[in-house]
Chains A and B, each alone.
Chain A
Amino acid sequence: MNFGRRTFVKGIGAVGIAGAGLTLASGSASATSHVEINSSNVSATTNDGEVNEVGISPQFTVDWEGFDDPVGKVHFLVEAQDESGDWWPVFRATPWLTEESFDGNGNLVQAPGESGKLTVDLSPTAVRDEILSRGNDDPNIEGATIKLFDGQGRPDYANWNWSNAVASQQSYLEGNSIGSASQYEEGGNVVVGHGPQNNYPGMDAGYYGAADSTDVVNEETDGETGEVTVNLRYTIVLLGINNKTDGNGNVVGGSAQYTEYGNFSDTTTTRRELTTADWQGEQSTFVDHLNLTQDASGNSALVMNGEDGYPDLTDQPGAGSAASLHYPSLQTISANHPAVTVVNSSFTASVTNKTAATDGVSGDSNTTMN
């Protein structure tokens, strides 16, 4: 269904609220905490009223405290609305948290545990391999902005060869089952047409494309300025520690160990979820004391799922287990579950089509007579 430009502006405007830095949040925890991801307005003036890309490079920090079980991973999903107001995933990632680590300025950037922190920096210039792919990334892959609208537009998901993928179209778009980012490379046996613009196979992160094409923001009329409210939605999920896989994503059999917890000979590193005596020096001792939160398959599960009176994710029809990342289910329970936070943010994108004009002609004929 195609909407005219005016219709789009009007329709989206009714859903969202224009303005920079607007943030709306849901989630019980957010009621008493600061929850805000600002989005500044953007504008451009071009000769033809067209832009190539509207994107974001999110940087945000998640702090938590007071959970009964330690948080070992933080999943986040970024969605944007298309022209008709439907939400589409544009990026997702699930950073694993290891021991406490600091940036070059001594600022804490990540810490697992019942109380902890994660700083996500998706700016193109940031070193994000450690966060997004646990050091297994291709160093030649550079960061890029997450494209919300671009010239290619949303991938043609409906016509992909889903029989070659581990996921169905529905599970892919709703998050339940995704597979590796490398499955969705352009030219592979799944993607038909252009691939997902926000896919970073070398980092094993991303998986998705833009929500729509830049047609939704382009201004066709000379001398006019088009203004569109763009709505974003961040869903942030706190997951527990599991011991299913090693650093390469392989299942570790037998006495599985949580090998992602860094160098155990480094006794100076703080591991918040345990007392020093629990882990110091001995990896086996450390594992014994880990308070795992995983489902029957060994996947990291939502912390405090169904505990202390909080909602049970598995009660949602689309979630198969407590480790499910079924986006609609997570967003449904976010209002009452502290481990799921939804942050809405909006900004205005303005494009001016510069008026074509002749600014005058000057010169000299340089007449001659012989």
Chain B
Amino acid sequence: MKRLLVVLLVVLAGCGGGGPEQTPTVTREQSTVTDGPRPGPNPDIGPTATATRVDADGTEAPPGRPTATPPPAATAAEPTSSAGPPAPTPEPETGSGPVPEASNGDGGSSGGGSSVDDTSERTPAATPSGPSVAVEGASNTTMASVRTT
């Protein structure tokens, strides 16, 4: 029994070591979740906003947000995904096409390797643009009194 436990621990340690092959996975994941278009029930990305999120190199990144590799802390969190295969498992449908499912992604908190995407396929042309409405005006408030000073 103890031997089995030792073997199991060794195996787990080998899987959860944050091997170099997992770093690209995290990088892509962050790019996808943070910057991805959010069509569907919560389409708070209109055509204008989408345009401002397109960098010169074709990748999408909101102003002020990092486009580089995420901090090492993200890598350290990888053991939570040890149950899944460490190799990238692209799911192109998460990044292309007007899928109505709203990810509501605001920072990649979903974790795991299931959100992996290939950012190179996320061209601006593929970005869905939802309908948008702008309202601007004034109430023009008034206060009236018959007897004033």
Contacts and interface: CB of A to CB of B under 8 A. Distances in A.
A59 interface: yes
A339 B131 contact: yes
A221 interface: no
B141 interface: yes
Contacts of B49: 32
A35 B133 CA distance: 8
A48 B98 contact: no
A347 B138 CA distance: 11
B56 interface: no
A102 interface: no
A29 B130 CA distance: 8
Nearest to B135: A35
Contacts of B101: 309
A33 B133 CA distance: 6
Given A32-B44, A60-B136, A66-B47, A45 B148 contact: yes
B140 A59 contact: yes
B17 interface: no
Given A33-B132, A63-B134, A66-B132, A44 B39 contact: no
Nearest to A303: B131
A36 B136 contact: yes
Contacts of A323: none
Interface string B5-27: 00000000000000000000000
A25 B133 CA distance: 12
Given A31-B44, A304-B131, A309-B41, A48 B147 contact: yes
Interface string B119-149: 0000000000111111111111111111111
Contacts of A67: 131
Interface residues of B, number: 36
A97 B56 CA distance: 40
B48, B98, B135, most chain A CB atoms within 10 A: B135
A235 to B, nearest CB: 11
B66 interface: no
Contacts of A236: 133, 135
Given A54-B142, A55-B141, A308-B100, A34 B134 contact: yes
B121 to A, nearest CB: 22
Given A66-B129, A354-B149, A37 B141 contact: no
